[in-house]
Amino acid sequence: MRVLVVEDDQALADVIARGLRQEALAVDVAYDGEEAIDKASFTSYDVVVLDRDLPKVHGDDVCRHLTSGGNGERILMLTASGTLDDRVSGLALGADDSLPKPFAMKELVARVRALGRRVPAVVPPLLTHGNLTVDVPQRRVVRAGREIRLTRKEFGVLEVLTSAGGRVVSSEELLEKVWDENTDPFTNAIRITVMTLRRKLGDPPIIETVVGVGYRLV
């Protein structure tokens, strides 16, 4: 899942991004409304965590812009006030959910996950492929009754490959969905991650490399 965090408090934005990345989500960050609109115009996001009180372009206007674009992003609006009127007005702008500050990181992650499951392109919470089961919310992987411990990136790659249903997934798509905008597009991180993932999943191998194209589960 690809998430955009829009928050002008850089310390808070970085905390939110770090917490979401620990859940194996790909996260980009914008520190003002103008930057948010710019990034959303070039990248397809599943969920946007949007602070309402933003510089340059107000969060309300960012929300209107995103919802009018018809790209299907789900918007979780962060509000400084927890009053009913404040929450209702945010939803009236087109936001899908609202969360007052301060909030618990666990709740924000849960709400982002819930919104992500409402996006048609986002995978269901439980994925299976043969004797492999991937529990997305719990970040738990089991193959043939054996639980497998994976890093965040390994889990993210496996989630994308499993949800593809046998379709070949390109390296570019893995970069977009598992890593983020700061990743060097020429990195060998994908190749190394797939190599270690294959080893951990054991025999018989289920990840196939399609030379010059990408990877798929077999």
Q: 99 and 15 share a domain? A: yes
Residue 180 scores a pLDDT above 60 = yes
Angle (deg, nearest 10), helices 171-178 and 152-163: 120
- Coil/strand/helix, residue 128: strand
Q: 120 is written with which tokens?
A: 């048609």
Whether residue 176 is predicted with pLDDT greater than 80 in this model: the reply is no
Q: Residue 141 corresponds to which tokens in the numbers above?
A: 């992987």
Residues 166, 110: one domain? no
Whether 184 and 78 share a structural domain? no
What's the whole-number mean pLDDT along residues 182-194?
74
Q: Kind of pairing, strands 26-30 and 2-6? A: parallel
Q: Is residue 121 part of a domain?
A: no
Q: Which residues span the domain enclosing 135?
A: 126-217
Q: Structurally, how many domains does the chain consist of?
A: 2
- pLDDT class of 189 with cuts at 50, 70, 90: confident
| DSSP per-residue letters across 159-218 | HHHHHTTT--EEHHHHHHHHS-TTS-TT-SHHHHHHHHHHHHH-SSP-EEEETTTEEEE-
Q: What CATH number is attached to the domain comprising 35?
A: 3.40.50.2300
- CA dist., res. 27 & res. 113, Å (int): 13
